[in-house]
Chain A
Amino acid sequence: MSVIRKMMTLLRGSAREISESVLDANATRIYEQEILDAKHSIDEARASLTGVMAKEMQSAREIERLKKEVERYEGLALEALEKSQEGLAEEVAGRVGALELELEEQSKAHAAYAVQVVKLKDMIKSAEARIREHEREIAMAKTTESVYRATRSISDTIGSSGSKLLDARQSLERIKQRHEDLADRMQAAEALDKELGHKALEAKLAEAGIGNYGDRGRKALERIKAKRAAAAQETAEKGE
């Protein structure tokens, strides 16, 4: 949680300081060692967790078995009493008592295993969180360092090449101007195309009635009239 707060403190320093030593080599080594340690303790906790959970399951089964045994012997004792076998009943009751003692011990062990499982799971969770925090801290520090170093390289390069970073307004104006130039050029090209290009030639030919471009309407009408005349003549010939 404290990673961002640390970064806030760091970023109050000068840009040069940040680019030089966000995270010194020693601190990085310590964090990396801590990450390794935490990973190791997670592995260990996972291994014991498997064992403890197995024992927890075993003790649960054992508790079930003992409960059934107690029930069975209680039944037997009852039967003995009904058959007035007082001595036998007492013996069976003694067995029930022993079983109950065993049951109590098993229950205690079971509870202890359950507590241990919770503890191990919590340990794994907190170790994972610790790893994530360290990794995040290293990542944030290294990224900050990179960004500041990159910015310094960029400023240096631009500075040494003689050109300087334009201010934002100038940049914007230039880009906009270029876009306008492009739009103007496209418009001009279109106009030029109309004047000198293919379309202009077609228009001139049509005007002169040359080639395919002549007076299509007039020609079509002539064709239709000729058809009608031919049809009229045919009718007249049939009539004769």
Chain B
Amino acid sequence: MTLKAQLKGLDTITAQQMGGVMVQLQPIPGEVPVIQVSIEGREELPIFVTCSDTQILCMCYLWAEAEVQPGRRMEMLETMLDLNPSVPLSSFGRVGDRYVLFGALARNARVEDVAQDIVALSDNALDALDALSEFLK
């Protein structure tokens, strides 16, 4: 099943789970399927949903390497590593030079599960950005 077909109704279900905020889906053109999820009031922190043969990944880009205070980089990395097991459903990671928060689901996950992951990810990302911004320039 294509990612788009699998995620049919994701906007409505995510909106419901967040108490009726507006949620918009937008496909991103490219070699791999990517769907951008924009949540009302958090437009600056969109969630991107993509997939491989085995997984569905929901990602939120937090900040770039260049934004980190060089003197506090190690401390930040350790904090993220320590936080990883505690943050519900989401993990910190890095793709290229961008730090991300992401959640992974089985390739055949239900749209409700993807929505739940997106809601958790959005809340976690906002929270993480607030808490960890002390390490940024």
User: Could you mark each residue 177-206 of chain A with 1 if its beta carbon is under 8 Å from any beta carbon of chain B, else 0?
Assistant: 011001000000000000000000000000
Closest to B42 in A: A175
B41 engages A179 (CB within 8 Å): yes
Identify which of A139, A149, A153, A171 contacts B55 (C-beta below 8 A).
Answer: A139
Identify which of A145, A165, A167, A179 contacts B52 (C-beta below 8 A).
Answer: A145
Identify which of A139, A143, A152, A168 contacts B30 (C-beta below 8 A).
Answer: A152
B45 engages A169 (CB within 8 Å): no
Identify which of A143, A151, A172, A175 contacts B54 (C-beta below 8 A).
Answer: A143
B34 engages A182 (CB within 8 Å): no
Report B-chain residues with C-beta under 8 Å of the C-beta of A176.
Answer: 130
Identify which of B30, B36, B57, B61 contacts A165 (C-beta below 8 A).
Answer: B61
A175 engages B59 (CB within 8 Å): no
- Interface members, chain B 17-70 (any A CB < 8 Å): 28-32, 34, 36, 41-42, 44-45, 48, 50-55, 57, 59, 61-64, 67
- Check B96 for interface membership: any CB of A closer than 8 A: yes
B96 engages A148 (CB within 8 Å): yes
A150 engages B48 (CB within 8 Å): yes
- Check A170 for interface membership: any CB of B closer than 8 A: yes
| Least distance between B39 CB and chain A CB atoms (Å) | 10
| Least distance between A10 CB and chain B CB atoms (Å) | 13
| Least distance between B111 CB and chain A CB atoms (Å) | 19
| Least distance between A18 CB and chain B CB atoms (Å) | 8
Report A-chain residues with C-beta under 8 Å of the C-beta of B126.
Answer: 172, 175
Q: How many residues of B contact A (CB 8 A)?
A: 35
- Check B133 for interface membership: any CB of A closer than 8 A: yes
- Check B95 for interface membership: any CB of A closer than 8 A: yes
B67 engages A151 (CB within 8 Å): no
- Check A146 for interface membership: any CB of B closer than 8 A: yes
Report A-chain residues with C-beta under 8 Å of the C-beta of B52.
Answer: 139, 142-143, 145-147
With A139-B54, A143-B55, A146-B57 known as contacts, the answer to whether A153 contacts B133 (CB < 8 A) is no
Report A-chain residues with C-beta under 8 Å of the C-beta of B133.
Answer: 168-169, 172
Complex Cα spacing A146 to B57, Å? 9
B34 engages A154 (CB within 8 Å): yes
Report A-chain residues with C-beta under 8 Å of the C-beta of B97.
Answer: 15
Interface hub of A166, A172, A182 (most chain B Cβ within 10 A) = A172
A147 engages B95 (CB within 8 Å): yes
- Check A105 for interface membership: any CB of B closer than 8 A: no
Report B-chain residues with C-beta under 8 Å of the C-beta of A168.
Answer: 62-63, 67, 129, 133, 136
Report B-chain residues with C-beta under 8 Å of the C-beta of A165.
Answer: 61
- Check A156 for interface membership: any CB of B closer than 8 A: yes
B63 engages A167 (CB within 8 Å): yes
What 13 additional pairs, Cβ within 8 angstroms, besides A154-B30, A168-B136?
A: A15-B95, A145-B32, A146-B51, A149-B32, A150-B50, A153-B31, A154-B28, A166-B44, A168-B129, A169-B67, A170-B44, A171-B129, A175-B126
Q: Spell out A's residues near B (CB within 8 Å).
A: 15, 138-139, 142-143, 145-154, 156-157, 165-172, 174-176, 178-179, 182
In the complex, 22 of the A-B residue pairs with CB atoms within 8 angstroms, ordered by the A residue number, are A15-B95, A138-B53, A139-B53, A146-B32, A146-B50, A146-B52, A147-B52, A149-B31, A150-B48, A151-B95, A151-B98, A153-B32, A154-B61, A157-B29, A157-B30, A167-B136, A168-B133, A171-B129, A172-B44, A172-B130, A175-B44, A179-B41
